[in-house]
Structure 1
Amino acid sequence: MNKITNLTKESTLFKVFLFCLSFLFFQFNSYSQDGKKLFKANCAACHSVGANKVVGPGLQGVTEKRSAEWLHSWIKNSGEMIASGDGDAVAIFEEYGKVIMPPQPVDDAQIDAILEYINNPNDGETAAGPTPPGGGDLTTAAPEDNSTMIYVFGAAILLLVILIFTLNRTGLFLRETIAKNEGEEYKGPTTLWESLREVMRNNKGIVAAVVIVLFFGGLLDLMDGAFEIGVHQGYKPEQPIKFSHKIHAGDDKIDCNYCHSSARHSKTSGIPSLNVCMNCHKHIDGSSGKTFMYNGKQYSMTEEIQKIYDHLDYDRETQTYGDNPTPVQWVKIHNLPDHVFFSHAQHVTAGKQKCQTCHGPVEEMDVVAQDAPLTMKWCIECHNATAVATEGNGYYDEMHARMTPEFKEQVMEDGVITVKEIGGWECAKCHY
């Protein structure tokens, strides 16, 4: 019998091992359509997945009201459908102030993913995550669970390693035995490491391919992680007083600007001082003993309202204030980088934007969470899609008067003036 000089079987196993190894060290990101992310990026500025109106209608049950074909056409180019005289399209256009929804840069697969998310917005809703600076809980949409796949690959790789080791030892023993039986000196590898080195020398192309996959895969994973730095979407901290926006803004229909009055005139919306709370809670003192839901638990209204009195050093019985008030240490939820300028007044007063555009359906939240990612991408996409509220808005009268006829014709070509078209993408608008 001729001396065995090749490692064909071991080489094949090694190729499989290297291929699987690339999966172990690099978790491929799922590039399948993520309906929630697509909705947040393209739709959330104007729509909710519930029944409540934001800028446009709430989308709850929209797939039952309209056919998939109609929805695809509407999302891709609503203006074209209106121009064609489609009855439903024209009716929606008339109902929502004759504002055309800008064409959305999404394909059919992405639209299907968005519609699937609208139909099932709560699938895998929350999962515990890290705590960002400032304390509190970070509750985010649960990412796709890839742990099962990782365990399967890990188990497969472990079995392959055991199999390779066993076959290698068997092969080495047989090769040495054959060499001795033929009276020849055995000069081949004697250890697993030497065998692996031999296989790697004989399969340089495979090894190079795996190294390239690992390097660029790791680089992409690193870049993907870098884009998440400072993004705290879903951040939902516990507050020192269990203040329920669902009760105040939802059930009691209190205007957001009543408490956050500086949003209409200032860069910041402001944290309401407790004297604003006392406008109501001097009379609504919680003596009824009612309870309310907050973050899935029942709390006493009496105890939470008493916290306001304690911080103000207010005696409910005598209705007098003491000399030792203490501040409430509210936990800030929405944090923008220091190099970003954002004005609430510009958006609320000049832009006529609703609070829900950026903050989501606050009137449905007991514990307020950061609804939008508040990234640069999210902002510029909103500026690209949002039509300027010009009708009855004196802020823009002078700007329109100064427009040259050519420029006015250009921006009004599609019947809509977007924020982008009047400078909403200029760097200095937010960074100066």
Structure 2
Amino acid sequence: MDAQLLTAVRAGDARSTDALLRAVPADVLAGADGSALLRAATVAGHTDVVATLLDAGVDPNRIWADGTDPVSWAADHGLSELLQELLRSDLAPWRKPLREDAVRRALDVARRWLGVDPARELRRRLGAAPDEPVVVERERIPVTDSGPHATRIRVRAADGRFAEVQTSHRAIVTHLEGRLGTPAHPDELLARALHFADPGSCDWVESQTVLTDGRDPEETFRWAEKLVAHPCVDTRRFAAEVVHRLSFVERPFQTRAVEVLRPRLRAEADPIALDRVIGAFAEYTGSGDPTDLLPHARHPEPEIRRRVAGELGAALGDLRTPSRSARTPRSGDIRSDVVAALIVLASDGDGPTRANALLALAESDVDTAQVRDLLTARLADDDQDARFQAAVGLALRADPEGGRALRRIGAGAGDDIRLAERVHWAQRRLARRATERPPT
């Protein structure tokens, strides 16, 4: 085996791996050497490299020397994202398809973890004696850059040996059941999400995904609406999030959802559940009547103020429509109480709240001296997103200071690719809008 290729795989260098693989014959990649490379990438947890190897023709069904296969190994160690990459082989015709028996083996492996204590099982795997001291480390880690997270548990013996696992086995079981066409009952999916009761975790998110994407939406809504006022706060959080996720497309139960959510806006005391309720209510109503949201603009938790600031923008006009570029306020449509709330939120002590409020005002049809003064003042905001939204808002109002501020932000972006791209697209949008503006 090429030592340079193995080094790139172990280092997680997907680009070098891809380049070096081009010199390896297809029959070699499909055989023992390819399997050894896949094992090295899998054990190291390099999902990108695993994808590169599979794309090159490495066989994910090939059993390793210890009798384990890649899918079962990933399932055993709770590596949900890596396992899903292995499962994607069926979606890419250039990859070798994964056999169903490999999926079933992985499901059996993951299910074994559902009945054990992870730290105790890791201690057993280390072979630690009952009275032998070990250190148990727990760390929350992101599974992807913007996706769910997991908890990694590592048990370390005094001599330095350790065993570790990510506690995502319930998510893996849920995903594999769905793949095999045997999804669990909603109550079981709820129980899996609540085992660790960690919103945003793989277990939580996968149960949500199966409920909202893999089942009849009306049936799921009828199940969830009974739980949004449940005595258990974790159950309320989960149910409110299900109702929220169901709101992203038009539903026949929209009116019923509003009826269920409106009293929860007044009664929900938990900030996490309330955040989901506000989001769902705003989606189902289109924020056309923000009356029920306005009281929460003064909520003590910044997460709620951020949510309200983000949702109130839908109650205002939109500058993205070229025909409204003359900046004539629609006095009959604009609610002064919404504008007043957003102005207050744009000076909130929480940076993301200010940014959300400034975004709503920047994109709105509201063009008053007070709003322009506010946008100008926020060009010096401590929060980068807030500064950016203030600059865009002024530029949309044909204020030259907005364009100058955008150029300064772009020039100072440095290695921040995300910020540079945002400035670039904002400037392109403004240039396009200038050519579309109707003559006055």
Do Structure 1 and Structure 2 share a fold, with TM-score over 0.5?
Answer: no
Q: 1 or 2 for the larger relative contact order (CA 8 Å, sep ≥6)?
A: 1
Q: TM-score, normalised by structure 2?
A: 0.18
Which of the pair is proportionally richer in helix? 2
Q: TM-score, normalised by structure 1?
A: 0.18
Largest Rg, 1 or 2: 1
